[in-house]
Amino acid sequence: MTKLRLAIVGAGPAGIYAADILLKAEKKFDVSIDLFEQLPAPYGLVRYGVAPDHPRIKGIINALREVLDSGQIRLFGNVLFGRDITLDDLKKHYNAVIFSTGSIRDAELKVPGIELAGSYGAADFVSWYDGHPDFPREWPLDASSVAVIGNGNVALDVARMLAKHADDLLPTEIPANVYEGLKNSPVTDVHVFGRRGPAQVKFSPLELRELGELRDVDMIVYDEDFDYDEASKAAIASNKQVFVIDKVLNQWRARETGSASRRLHLHFYANPLEITGTDSVESIRYERTRPDGAGGVEGTGEIREIPIQALYRAVGYFGSPLDGIPFDEKRGVIPNREGQVLDDDDQQVHGVYATGWIKRGPVGLIGHTKSDAMETVKHVINDQANWWAPAEPSEEAVTELLASRGVEFTNLDGWHNLDAYEQALGAPTGRVRIKVVERDEMVRASNNS
């Protein structure tokens, strides 16, 4: 029987679901899957993006882990595609590759002053508080007044992590350096800015509601933002999510405020114009907007300014190019047709596929990567006639190659070891786990070395 030797690069949910779907799919060939991941631990943004105080979502790791534990997938952690293994290597050892490398960078925001010291990308902050090994251990939390630009769930995560008292994060898996950093934060006011109105936000209702449950944090919303136009009223009447969002916001309007030591302000119809400051961020200037009657907003000419000492832009993520693989610089994705990678002339690049955020762009929840993977895997199966013909398809050849290059890779047993190690770190203080941040320590714990 023919055997498909498949490499998957990126062990986030997209890559793991693709492996699972392929293994369970009806097909006329055997399959052997190797999953390459640049980090010593799998799970991508579920481990390094989802906020630590969202244990239910972090729990998706358990389902992904079951897939890895099925015994039919080999994991090669701590292996960076483009450095430790290349496209030529993959062609030599596999019939095809699926790239599921996601996105970890911040999208740009073109506002004057955005380059000032004290202005940060949300993705970098998320990587810090979620203990990503490739980001600095120290985060400058010295501002009392902070702006967050964006009206999606990542903006809410960042605002919540900034406003929440560090002790309320102690039951979570946050690393020790993150707890210390947040504990010493002098923050009193977090201002979230969105260009449009409450009926146009991209928050999910659950994430929004959670803000109102933060201890010792007042939610501040402004009456002027609730003078809805017809389009907003129609959205509230017809869309359940928007209806709930409006309800939550209106409950906050009616709440007593003034006793909490921290405030989280939601500014709608606020278009950032400029970040001012001499050496570092000193204020944000924004223009008040209003609905333009066509579903968008227009400027009113009214300029406002709020003093801040730090700013986070949460305006989306962006993918990174991979050596030898086509890349769409505008969208930050691998150009593809239903997961089949395309070259500059829109022709299919045989043997190369994409799935997840690097295929579709950085939008959508973990669950969406499943349907994505189904589409991609269907093509991998149907394209059998165009698979690569590898010169050295044996499983040992890949292990030998990595070893010969001195790559200190981790495997699935290694992840189990690291998992147990992190849980043991948390046990003395009754915590489920404490995440290990240092790459060396992750590799040592994985390989019991």
Residues that bind ligand FAD (CB under 6 A): 9-15, 36-39, 44-46, 49-50, 54, 57, 80-82, 100-102, 126, 154, 157, 317, 322, 356-357, 364-366, 369
Residue 283 C-beta: closest distance to ligand FAD, Å: 26
Q: φ, ψ for residue 172 (rounded to 5)?
A: -90, -175
Residue 383 C-beta: closest distance to ligand FAD, Å: 21
Nearer to ligand FAD among residue 50 and residue 114 (C-beta): 50
Residue 179 C-beta: closest distance to ligand FAD, Å: 19
Nearer to ligand FAD among residue 3 and residue 83 (C-beta): 83
Residue 301 C-beta: closest distance to ligand FAD, Å: 35
Nearer to ligand FAD among residue 10 and residue 277 (C-beta): 10
Work out whether strand 310-313 and strand 145-149 pair parallel, antiparallel, or are unpaired.
parallel
Query: Going along 80-216, which residue ranges are E strands?
Result: 96-99, 103-106, 119-121, 145-149, 189-193
Q: How many CB atoms lie within 10 A of CB 344?
A: 7
3-state SS class at 75: strand
Q: Which residue is nearest to ligand FAD (CB)?
A: 12
- The DSSP-derived string for 329-356 is TTTTB--EETTEEE-TTS-EEEEEEE-T
Residue 87 C-beta: closest distance to ligand FAD, Å: 11
Residue 165 C-beta: closest distance to ligand FAD, Å: 20
Quick one: 411 exposed, middle or buried, by C-beta within 10 A (0-12, 13-18, 19+)?
middle
Residue 439 C-beta: closest distance to ligand FAD, Å: 12
Residue 389 C-beta: closest distance to ligand FAD, Å: 24
d(CA 121, CA 108): 9
Nearer to ligand FAD among residue 134 and residue 298 (C-beta): 134
- Contact 201/226 with Cβ under 8 angstroms? no
Residue type for position 39? L
How far does the chain reach from its first CA to its final CA, in angstroms?
A: 40
Nearer to ligand FAD among residue 38 and residue 340 (C-beta): 38
Helix axes 240-253, 230-238, angle to 10 degrees: 110
Point out which residues pair with 280 in neighbouring strands. 117
Work out whether strand 340-342 and strand 270-276 pair parallel, antiparallel, or are unpaired.
unpaired
Nearer to ligand FAD among residue 44 and residue 198 (C-beta): 44
Nearer to ligand FAD among residue 58 and residue 196 (C-beta): 58
Nearer to ligand FAD among residue 37 and residue 287 (C-beta): 37
